[in-house]
Chain A
Amino acid sequence: MLVSEREQLRDNIEAWVAQYGANRSSLIPVMSEVQQKYGHISEYVMQVVADILDIHPVEVDSVVSFYSFLGHKSKGRFIVRLCRTISCEMQEKDRVARQLENDLGIRFGETTPDGHFTLEWASCLGMCDQGPALLVNERIYTHVTPEKVHDILEECRGTFGVYRPNAQTMMNIQDTDTSEMTFTGVDGRDGLDKAMKMKPEGIVDAIGESGLKGRGGAGFPTSLKWKLAAEMDDEQKYVVCNADEGEPGTFKDRVILTDFPDLMFDGMTIASRAIGANKGIVYLRGEYMYLRASLEEKLVKRRQDGLLGSNVSGINGFDFDIEIRMGAGAYVCGEETALIESLEGQRGEPRNRPPFPVNTGFMGHPTIVNNVETFAWVPCILVKGSSWFKKIGTEKSTGLKLFSVSGDCEKQGVFEFPLGISIHDLLKEVGGEDAKAVQVGGAAGYCIPAGQFDRAISFEDVATGGSIIVFGPERDMLAVAKNFMEFFLDESCGQCTPCREGNLRLFEGIEMLEEGRCSMKYLKDLRQLGESMQVACKCGLGQASPCAFLSIIDNFNDEIMGRVSAAC
């Protein structure tokens, strides 16, 4: 590299650091800028950034290697990422993959010799209802067929030179089919106004009375989380919106972020009033980069309208603003402490809990992390009343919930149902009555066989963050299990032994089953291993990682048995 190039590079990095702040928390945004501008992150860049941020180059290296969207290897100008997660897999992504390889003349993980294209796998892109989905730089393509592959690549080749990766291209995306939604009929502004007239404790109480629980899937009572954060004595508190929607089969947050972002922002503002925070952060998954511009526009508008900034809504002394921070391709960052680590410029590795984020979260300050949908329900509850929400659903799972439905059913899309709905009723609504199984809760969820379709989707029975994947009578359940294990094999953060090595062994076990090399004894060993993983992994995601494997092994014994080797 020429000296002048190096100086230019250093200048750029210094400008980005100045923009994002001269502390480690800026590491990932700065690295993302470098990645976008230069196509890779060189060793020189890592050392310069380390120098400026006063950390070690090896730490920068470590962070870069953790996130799928950052890398040291020089990549092509167009990075083509094909989703290989279950819903796309079920929609013949293999044919698309083959065509991509044929057309480009490279394998996955490689770059064309001319440096134009890099071909990679992606984990769930949140387009499960419109698969197979393909991401070219930040541009998303859905319903991709082998025929369309050629057109897409030609379009890239043709626009070469004037292609602007930042250009927001939404026309590829079809509207997601949705049922009628409460969100459509609510003006979040009314909820916000109402909240601003209440005392902070009053807001917490109102949410508490509604019984709202976290819509991300863990089902922690929202008001309790807020109450704990509100009780902390700290001048600096944070409201973080978890928009890292990475669970396979989940795309309802994408719909909220596209169609109802103001509801979410209203909810965040109300939360900040409730706990006494002055800073909000939306952690948006890197795969949703194309949504960023419209969200930023909304924020500008809100600032103009006095809904963000100093003295929000005319309340003296209530300062609150929201920043959007991008993820960089790591499923595990959906775990709240991993998300905070990522915000702090670290590898997205879950922390030891306790302490919890409400006590020591982002930068050591009290932080609440809630899902996009949770925030969106908040203004609705204030507008329509806590008792309205509480009356819907079951005693322990109140209210309505959005479900992302994909797989073998007539109507894929986002549906609003009351919690407590039976799987059977849900299937009837989406035209999937002949299903032999339903995966509730994505890769980290459970596979429910037809015999248990009377079970209720609720926190007390089958919990979900919204992912519903329907498997028709013809599906090979072992292949399904394999896809899920493949997902965890790639997405485990790798810090704790049971998740890092355990998922590898479970995956290998499935391969052995496929080949008829797995003895009954070994299958039993793997089953027990899965049980150990459920109790011994460090974080919730690790603990949930063997669930799909275990439920498929248990519930589809007849499909599995024929493949077990005779040798015991």
Chain B
Amino acid sequence: MSNLLENTTSRRAPASACLRNTGVVDTSVEVTLHIDGKEVTVPAGTTILVAAKKIGIRIPTLCYHEDLCVAGVCRICVVELEGQERLEASCAYPVTSPIKVRTHTRKVRMARRHILDLMLSKHYGECYACFRNNNCELQALAREYGVDFFRFGHPDKPRYKVDRSSQSLVRDMDKCILCRRCIRTCIDLQEVGVLDIDNRSCESKVVTFGDKPLGDVICINCGQCINRCPTGALRANDPTDDVWAVIDDPTKHVVIQTAPSPRAGIGECFGLEPGQPLTFEMNTSLKECGFDKVFDTNFAADLTIIEEGTELLLRLHKALVEKDESVSIPQFTSCSPGWVKYLEHFYPEYIPNLSTAKSPQQMFGTVIKTYYAQLNNIDPKDIVTVALMPCSAKKFECNRPEMCDSGFKDVDYGLTTRELAQMISEAGIDLPNMPKSDFDDPFGSATGSGVIFGATGGVMEAALRTVIELVCGIKVEDLFEHADIIPVRGFEGIRFMELPITEVGPVPDLLKNLVGDWDWLKGATLKVAVAHGTANAKRVMEDIKAGGRCSECHFIEFMACPGGCLGGGGQPIPTSPAIRAARAKAIYAEDAAYEIRKSHENPAITKIYGEFLKDGPCSHESHKLLHTHYLPRGKYIV
């Protein structure tokens, strides 16, 4: 096994995960310090900021982020140490001796105010014309520190052009305060490496390679930088005006599919604590907004499980029975468009390993403009499909030129959770207090398996539930209590599971066209892995290259975003490990509440294979509509 897997954090460890190692202090030793006269005991190496938080003392921060390595550059968190003239950045200062700290002396307040004044002297833009109005960390601090005039001036015209070249992201460097969170997100957390600092001194700014437009570089559109930007310098490419326009157009039949993660997060945009799902209130609100139909993306997630699971079984059959050495194993999941683009850029030679199955969003788009259009006798050219996603990369995905198998653009608009929240509030709807309503037919409510797609490990769990039942002929509940496949859950960067296939059952009707029996799988051990965040994906890929443990796996789930879709780049801001954990809890709770929790038991799935995709999964027709191909992009930019 290669040692690549041992380190499950990013290149430089995030603030939440590390004591500041000073090289001399034993971190098992406890130190007692005083902050504003209050005593607190912490392990040596704990930062002043964390120690203060422990006793309820709040120190303002900007460049600090729990998910990211310490920078100590904005200096807003400076505090005074007794007996020391200069101030220290509390986010970066490790406590190793019983120091006495003051967090709001005159000197500290003065310095913070000056730092804010300096930031504002470069921050172009008006708060009321900014999408982060009322959710901006700079604005909040300006209010907190009583900024009522611009001491060192304020720019009256923009210095930079807004970069709208990307289909997913918009960069407005006039709002950038150079906290470098986006850089640390891109390089250290995600290891994509699109953004870094250019030049030095007051000329420095955040740039892409060669200062090229974002649309021309190797950005995977994960949008993690958006979620961590304290101001409005980074945002998703917002299509709400276009969506309103089609809603208002009476000739259009506007259909929205909603992914599982936005439901678990949208409440945060309306002041609720993280982890309070509003699935059915949202359905009502969407109708109120004017959408003609509201469908559950989970139907397509279930469809994906059938297609992708079948594809895996076919690959294994080819490898084990037909002894075809050209078949690429492990099979990689393909539902995360950020991950797909990451692979296309950094590991294009592994494209054959990617499942050809489209993501649920794209499958649903195709199904709506074909199957649903036929059923309801609507001309697909009049159907507009909108996808509510927790994701910024989905905007890029729906614009991929190959995504028009229905004969039309399969998904017209990708909408993020934040953008929908904006539409709902614009319509004057009080989301948390709306009555509940169900999803529309013919797709109805899906299964618990579809719901857990939102969390890292969810696709794997859903796939395993189906594979166990279809192949082994037993109930998942016989192996895992309440069908909860715990080993693939959690937030560990890379997780493994092995499932020995001790017995096999009869081949179900759905797959009879493809295989005669399962005997060839008897005695085999199915090895799977789960990785979330592209930094972990990189580790897995390097391990595969080196012939390590991951290369022995049969199926690997990859999600571009830390935590999976629930931590996606379209989710409410802010994000933190605790917020993501709360959203995950909500998702698993919703799964547990479903009566049907396995994709293959979804009646709508049975129906579509019975009525429409009659040759079953991975057939010619399903390949035409539900599968796709990829583009080896490489990492060199010409």
A residues lining the B interface (CB < 8 Å): 43, 46-47, 51, 55-59, 61-62, 65-66, 72, 232, 330, 332, 347, 352, 354-355, 359-360, 366, 488-498, 500-505, 525, 528-529, 531-538, 543
- Residue B151 at the chain A interface, CB threshold 8 Å: yes
CB <8 Å contact, B200 and A493: yes
Residues of A within 8 A of B115 (CB): 497-498, 532, 536
Q: Work out how many contacts link A and B, with CB atoms closer than 8 A.
A: 173
Interface residues of B in 175-199 (CB under 8 A from A): 177-178, 180, 187, 192-199
Binds A, one of B16-24, B563-571, B576-584: B16-24
Q: Is the CB of B200 within 8 A of A498?
A: no
Interface assignment of B204: CB less than 8 Å from any CB of chain A? yes
Known: A43-B209, A61-B210, A347-B200. 17 other contacts (CB 8 A): A47-B209, A51-B635, A56-B192, A58-B194, A59-B193, A62-B197, A65-B198, A332-B200, A352-B72, A354-B22, A489-B202, A495-B180, A501-B121, A505-B152, A532-B110, A535-B78, A538-B73
Of the A-B pairs whose beta carbons lie under 8 Å apart in the complex, a sample of 25, sorted by A's number, is: A46-B209, A56-B193, A58-B187, A58-B194, A352-B92, A354-B22, A359-B23, A366-B23, A488-B201, A492-B200, A494-B178, A494-B197, A494-B199, A494-B203, A495-B204, A496-B73, A496-B74, A501-B152, A503-B201, A532-B114, A536-B78, A536-B111, A536-B114, A536-B115, A538-B72
A495 touches B73 (CB 8 A): yes
The contact string, 1 if C-beta is below 8 Å from chain A, for chain B 133-160, is 0000000000000000001100000000
B85 at the interface (CB under 8 A from A): yes
Is the pair A500, B202 in contact by a Cβ cutoff of 8 Å?
yes
Distance in Å: Cβ of A454 to nearest Cβ of chain B:
25
Question: Are A43 and B86 in contact, with the CB atoms below 8 A?
Answer: no
- Are A529 and B201 neighbours in the complex by a CB distance under 8 Å? no
Q: Which of B70, B75, B194, B208 has the most CB of A within 10 A?
A: B75
Question: Are the C-beta atoms of B75 and A58 separated by less than 8 Å?
Answer: no
Alpha-carbon separation in the docked complex, A51 to B346 (Å): 11
How far does the Cβ of B347 sit from chain A's closest Cβ, in whole Å? 14
| Residue pair A354, B94 in contact (C-beta under 8 Å) | yes
Which residues from A are CB-within-8-Å of B78? 535-536
Residues of B within 8 A of A525 (CB): 151-152
Contact between chains at B196 and A59 (CB < 8 Å): yes
**Chain B residue contacts of A498, Cβ below 8 A:** 75, 111, 114-115, 118
Contact with A along B9-44 (1 / 0, CB 8 A): 000000000001111100000000000000000000
A494 CA / B122 CA spacing, docked (Å): 14
Residues of the B chain whose Cβ atoms lie less than 8 Å from the Cβ of A528: 110, 114
A494 to B117, CA, bound (A): 17
CA distance A46 to B637 in the complex (A): 11
Does B297 lie at the interface of the complex (its beta carbon under 8 Å from any beta carbon of A)? no
Residue from A58, A366, A495, A534 within 8 A of B209 (CB atoms) = A58
A538/B89 in contact, CB under 8 A: yes
Q: How far is the CB of B188 from chain A (nearest CB, A)?
A: 11
Chain A residues with CB under 8 Å of B73's CB are 495-497, 538
Contacts of B207 in A (CB 8 A): 58, 61-62
CA–CA, A183 and B135, complex, Å: 64
Residues of B within 8 A of A491 (CB): 200-201
Question: How far apart sit A543 and B75, CA to CA, in the bound complex (Å)?
Answer: 12
What is the bound-complex CA distance between A504 and B202, given in angstroms? 7
Q: Which residues of chain B are near A500, meaning CB under 8 Å?
A: 178, 201-202, 204
Cα(A236)–Cα(B636), bound, Å? 37
Q: Which residues of B contact A502 (CB under 8 A)?
A: 114, 118
Complex formed: what's the CA distance from A492 to B203 in Å? 10
Whether B314 is near chain A, meaning CB under 8 Å from some CB there, is no
Contact digits for B59-73, partner A, Cβ 8 Å, 1 yes 0 no: 000000000001111
With A47-B637, A501-B122, A535-B86 as given contacts, are A66 and B94 in contact (CB-CB < 8 Å)? no
| CA gap between A496 and B194 in the complex, in Å | 22
Residue of A nearest to B203 (CB): A494
B137–chain A nearest beta-carbon distance, Å: 14
- Whether B21 contacts A360 by the Cβ 8 Å rule is yes
Report chain A residues within 8 Å CB of B20.
352, 354-355
Return the contact of B199 from the options A66, A503, A504, A537 (Cβ within 8 A): A66
Q: Are A503 and B202 in contact (CB under 8 A)?
A: yes
Contacts of B198 in A (CB 8 A): 61-62, 65
A533, B96: Cα distance in complex, Å: 26
Among B85, B121, B197, which residue has its beta carbon within 8 angstroms of that of A535? B85
B424 proximal to A (CB < 8 A): no
Instruction: Give CA–CA (A65, B122) in the complex, Å.
Output: 21
For residue B87, CB closer than 8 A to chain A, the reply is yes
B633 at interface, CB cutoff 8 A: no
Determine if B107 is an interface residue (Cβ-Cβ < 8 Å). Answer: yes
Output the least CB separation between A485 and chain B (Å). Answer: 11
Q: Within the assembled complex, what's the spacing in Å between the Cα atoms of A56 and B201?
A: 22
With most chain A CB atoms within 10 A of its CB, the pick from B22, B71, B118 is: B118
**Does B4 reach chain A (CB closer than 8 Å)?**
no
The answer to whether residues A43 and B114 also contact, given A65-B198, A354-B96 and a CB cut-off of 8 A, is no
CB neighbours of B208 from chain A (8 A): 58
Asked if B178 and A360 make an inter-chain contact with CB atoms under 8 angstroms apart, the answer reads no
A525 to B149, CA, bound (A): 13
Known: A496-B74, A497-B74. A61 touches B196 (CB 8 A): yes
Q: How far is the CA of A505 from the CA of B153 in the complex (A)?
A: 9
Q: Across the interface, which residues of A come within 8 angstroms of B247, CB to CB?
A: none
Asked if B589 is an interface residue, CB under 8 A from chain A, the answer is no
B-chain residues with CB within 8 Å of residue A66 when the two chains form the complex? 197, 199-200
Nearest CB of chain A from residue B120's CB, rounded to whole Å? 10
A538 touches B75 (CB 8 A): yes
Query: Which 10 pairs between the two chains have the least Cβ-Cβ distance?
Result: A56-B193, A359-B23, A494-B204, A501-B118, A62-B196, A352-B92, A536-B111, A492-B201, A532-B114, A355-B22
Could you tell me the distance in whole angstroms from the C-beta of A362 to the nearest C-beta in chain B? 13
A496–B76 CA distance with the chains assembled, in angstroms? 10
Instruction: Give CA–CA (A537, B206) in the complex, Å.
Output: 20
Q: Which residues of B contact A494 (CB under 8 A)?
A: 178, 197, 199-204
Interchain nearest-CB distance for A493 vs B (Å): 6
* Among B85, B86, B121, B200, contact of A65 (Cβ-Cβ < 8 Å): B200
Docked CA distance A441–B90 (Å): 30
B483 adjacent to chain A (CB < 8 Å): no
Residues on A with beta carbons closer than 8 Å to the beta carbon of B86: 534-536, 543
Which residues in B have their C-beta under 8 angstroms from that of A352?
20, 70, 72, 89, 92-93
Give the distance in Å from the alpha carbon of A38 to the alpha carbon of B444 in the complex: 65
Q: How far is the CA of A500 from the CA of B202 in the complex (A)?
A: 5
**Are A535 and B87 in touch, CB under 8 angstroms?**
yes
- B5 interface residue, CB < 8 Å from A? no
Contacts of A529 in B (CB 8 A): 114, 117-118, 152
Given known pairs A497-B74, A498-B118, A532-B110, the reply for A58 and B201 (CB within 8 Å) is no
Query: In the assembled complex, how far is the CB of residue A539 from the closest CB belonging to chain B, in whole angstroms?
Result: 10
Measured CA separation A504–B152 after assembly (Å): 10
C-alpha spacing A347/B201, complex, angstroms: 12
Q: Are B197 and A360 in contact (CB under 8 A)?
A: no
